[in-house]
Chains A and B, each alone.
Chain A
Amino acid sequence: MSIELLNFIETVLNGLMSGVMYSLVALGFVLIFKASGVFNFAQGVFALFAALTLVGYQTGQVPFAHLINELFGTNYHNWYASMPNFFAILLTMVTMIALAWIIERLVLKHLVNQDPIILFMATIGLAFALEGVGDLMWGSDVKVLDVGIPSGGSIWLEEATIGLAAEGSDYYGMYVDVLNIWATVIAVILVVSLALFSQYTKTGRALRAVADDHQAALSVGISLRSIWILVWAISGFIAMVAGIMWGTESGVQFSLSLIALKALPVLILGGFTSIPGAIIGGLMIGVGEKLAEIYIGGYFETGAIENWFAYVMALVFLLFRPQGLFGDKIIERV
């Protein structure tokens, strides 16, 4: 095989892997939108908050330490040296469930039957408030997140592909980050679990009923509020997974909340109501932007086209299929 072709395959592979990382963020948006019709602007901050909380538990950081010390003149920073990953993840999950409950109690409960735009505005407020709380609780230093997921180039893939190039050619072998392979495996497990949960459990069916028609679901005795808490908790769990993956790659810091921007074109392309759409959309955006950056980027004087190219792809797609790849078709009956 020619090196050019191998490089092209490598770009596609890496695009797919990046796409999975975007899908992890998009999944949280889809779940909440499906169940409650709310476009949760705070999903990126959820991922940040979950990652901050996880590192906080891992390292035994005292929450709100700076505030406590300022107010009471104390000098508390850590209450233990470290916590095993399993327990730290478990505690973070509990925290995200508690957060979902608080959001339902303080925000959503009071906005039932309001226009979607009001709910959207509420999530914008929520995003900024949660970012501030995260800062107060855990501080804004760059934090190292290590839950034992390996990272770095896959040596196995490099060695397996090095012989594919013509003999004598100076080919290094193909590169894929092991962290991204793990992200793919975890995303597959997540999607399969979510599908099984919604198809084969009573709560899952109730969740689908609420997604289809709030009024009808209420009329058969499904508690809308319990379902909302559940959906926000699941979406908090997905945010934690996304936060772990992105945080492992770049360290946990406040720019992590901006990963939400990576999920938007994925949602436009895949549709706001489809879990498979979030996955396929992510893969298409990932591959599209990487191919564009590497093969077309050089023709632009400024370069760095991948960020806006993803949105161009999504816009073009909107023209032909406004509801997205797998989104529900919009039919207005007169």
Chain B
Amino acid sequence: MRIKQLLIGMTASVIAVSSYVEMAIADLKFPMLVYRTGAYAPNGIPNADGFVDYYKMINARDGGIGGEKILHPECETGYKTQVGVECYEKNKKDAMVFQPMSTGITYQLIPKATADGVTVYSTGYGRTSAANGKVFKWIFNAPVTYWDGASIAVRHILKNNLGNIKGKKIALVYHNSAYGKEPIRTLQTLSKKHGFKLMLLPVDHPGQEQKATWLKIRKGRPDNVLMWGWGVMNQVAIKSAASIKFPMDKFIGIWWSGSENDVLPAGQGAHGYKSLTFNAPGTNYQVHADIKKYVHDKGEASGDGSHFGTVLYNRGLFQAMVQVEAATVAQKIHGTSKITPAMYRDGMENVNLSAKRLEELGFKDFAPPFKNSCENHGGSGLAAVQQWDAKTKKWNMITEYMYGDSDVVQKLIAEDSAKYATEQKIAERCG
């Protein structure tokens, strides 16, 4: 009797699992590598919430992408590279795209995803030279790279010093990881070009204690400080800068060091702190109205909905929108809604988010337009500077979106990607 029951149970389970798998194949799978726990969760949660709310909104408003529902299984990485790789391995079957949300994980996935034929999209992070589509067929990092970011920050400093920073000193306070080290090469090249002295100040994970770093800054007296930080490192750095009375308007963080989380713990001390950004904060956009109508008002918000409109939530929206748009483009190119991972890659390579298209998608004035191509997977290379107003507790954009030093950046990308192509024996394409 027991054996019979067991057999019936097993058969039912097999049928249930196979029907789920069939359903999954028919839908579009966008696995999410998230970190909702651990030291970096305060940043990981709003970003992941942005993704989920956008996917839910597309499923509810449009019935999915071209009629195909979006599946977005989450895998918790805790921002740990090894766990991220395991998450990739578990979810790679039929996956359209992976957004690793960590430069360390991205570096590990580049050779794996290339071999597996899976698209990796590292929005404004990851390996900068992956912007060269001739070498990195499956990797995309649009709309802007870390090397663009470094040169945009230097350009902003140049502008504030009437175009001359010869003899000035710029310090880079960076997370001592693959992510934090990414801009060093560009800054070294720019220091030779413009004649400024570069101080390199690494901070070990998680960055809770930075006294020695800021004593060095106090003694070294740099004219400007740049920061490539993440998590608690940002908060402690901003608070420490305020504590040693470093002028906050001369302290510029990369776009991952410029969320509300980073500045609020420092209170009034953070007033005037600047960061780069490639998307706007706030909720005055059509996409927010749609998310409110189709997701939040139905009680379907990811988390408690409290991150709605914050910098990292909005970045999640932007990232998800690009991923969805790539699927739409792929469906148009191949004339089918049931796209494969290879078709999806074609879509990502042909994404063209013009101002008109951004408006159609509910992102008018939310981010600068960009387009990918076979050669260029790095987007427009545009970013703006935003400044924190501690009185109103708001980020304000203080510059237009601007380009970095493309002469320097493109040369470095060509060098680095050529080296990678030689190591990996990759033949350049797009010829």
Contact = CB atoms under 8 A, between A and B. Distances in A.
A21 B245 CA distance: 22
Contacts of B235: 142, 250-251, 253
Contacts of B269: 152
Contact of B232 (A250, A303, A304): A250
Interface residues of A, number: 48
B9 interface: no
Interface stretch (A85-93, A100-108, A254-262): A254-262
Given A7-B219, A153-B243, A153-B244, A142 B42 contact: yes
Interface in B237-276: 239, 242-245, 261, 264-265, 267, 269
B36 interface: yes
Interface residues of B, number: 42
B176 A302 contact: yes
Interface stretch (A184-192, A196-204, A223-231, A287-295): A287-295
A304 B204 contact: yes
Contact of B41 (A140, A177, A262): A140
A207 B243 CA distance: 41
Interface in A1-16: 7, 10-11, 14-15
Interface stretch (B97-105, B208-216, B325-333): B208-216
A294 B215 contact: yes
Interface stretch (B21-29, B60-68, B195-203): B195-203
A284 to B, nearest CB: 16
A255 B206 contact: yes
A21 B218 CA distance: 21
A19 B261 CA distance: 27
Nearest to B41: A140
A142 B264 contact: yes
Given A175-B215, A258-B39, A294-B215, A251 B264 contact: yes
A65 B219 contact: no
B299 interface: yes
A254 B202 CA distance: 22
Nearest to B264: A144
A73 interface: yes
Interface in A86-140: 135, 139-140
A142 B265 contact: yes
A167 interface: no
A177 B214 CA distance: 11
B212 A77 contact: no
Interface string A252-282: 0111101100100000000000000000000
A215 interface: no
Nearest to B180: A304
Given A255-B208, A255-B232, A140 B215 contact: no
Interface in A123-179: 135, 139-142, 144-146, 151-153, 172, 175, 177
B201 A303 contact: yes
B347 interface: no
A304 B261 CA distance: 24
B265 A153 contact: no
B231 interface: yes
B320 interface: no
Interface in A189-219: none
A69 interface: yes
Given A142-B264, A152-B243, A250-B239, A69 B304 contact: yes
B170 interface: no
Contacts of B239: 151, 249-250
A258 B206 contact: yes
B36 A307 contact: no
A246 interface: yes
Contact of A175 (B176, B203, B244): B244
Given A258-B206, A303-B176, A304-B176, A250 B265 contact: yes
Interface in A49-102: 65-66, 69, 73, 77
A182 to B, nearest CB: 13
B243 A289 contact: no
A297 interface: yes
Contacts of A145: 265
A73 B200 CA distance: 51
Contacts of A262: 208-209
A141 B176 contact: no
B135 interface: no
B391 to A, nearest CB: 15
A142 B206 CA distance: 14
Interface string B30-69: 0000001111111001000000000000000000000000
A219 B48 CA distance: 58
Nearest to A293: B212
A254 B39 contact: yes
B291 interface: no
A14 B304 contact: no
Contact of B215 (A14, A73, A258): A14
B245 A10 contact: no
Contacts of A77: 304
A273 B176 CA distance: 35
Contacts of A69: 304
Contacts of A18: 209, 211
Nearest to A286: B211
A172 B218 CA distance: 9
A254 B261 CA distance: 13
B215 A255 contact: no
A290 B231 contact: no
B304 A294 contact: no
A152 B213 CA distance: 16
B324 interface: no
B227 interface: no
Contacts of A7: 219
B208 A290 contact: no
Interface core residue of B42, B45, B236, B299 (most chain A CB under 10 Å): B42
| A142, A144, A246: residue with the most chain B Cβ atoms closer than 10 Å | A142
Contacts of A17: 211
Interface of B: 36-42, 45, 176, 200-204, 206, 208-209, 211-213, 215-216, 218-219, 231-232, 235-236, 239, 242-245, 261, 264-265, 267, 269, 299, 303-304, 306
Given A253-B232, A253-B235, A255-B208, 17 more contacts: A10-B215, A14-B211, A18-B209, A66-B303, A139-B304, A140-B37, A140-B42, A141-B42, A142-B264, A146-B267, A153-B245, A246-B208, A251-B232, A262-B208, A303-B201, A304-B204, A306-B209
17 contacts: A18-B211, A21-B209, A135-B41, A140-B36, A141-B42, A142-B261, A152-B242, A152-B269, A153-B243, A253-B41, A254-B37, A254-B41, A255-B39, A258-B206, A289-B212, A290-B212, A304-B204
